[in-house]
Amino acid sequence: MDTDTNKIKQIVERALADGRLSRQENDDIKAAIWSDGKVTEDEMKLYRELQQQIFEGEIMIED
């Protein structure tokens, strides 16, 4: 993983520390992914893993 992907991974880990994901945290993650104007395969993999955790009920979404 490159430096940007590691930064995004850290943002995701901080956001999910409480087992919940707020809309703001989700927006922050997406902004970090798009910050350089492109989405790498690793970045997309991280976001898909996040979505899968939500789908499986491991992560709760809150407003």
- pLDDT at position 23, please? 94
Whether 57 and 40 have beta carbons less than 8 Å apart is answered as no
Domain of 35 in residue numbering reads as 3-62
pTM score of the predicted model: 0.87
pLDDT, one tens digit for every residue, the chain (63 residues): 788 899 999 999 999 999 999 999 999 999 999 999 999 999 999 999 999 999 999 999 997
Question: Looking at the 3D structure of the chain, how many domains does it have?
Answer: 1
Angle between helices 41-55 and 23-34 (to 10 degrees): 160
Phi, psi of 61 (to 5 degrees): -100, 135
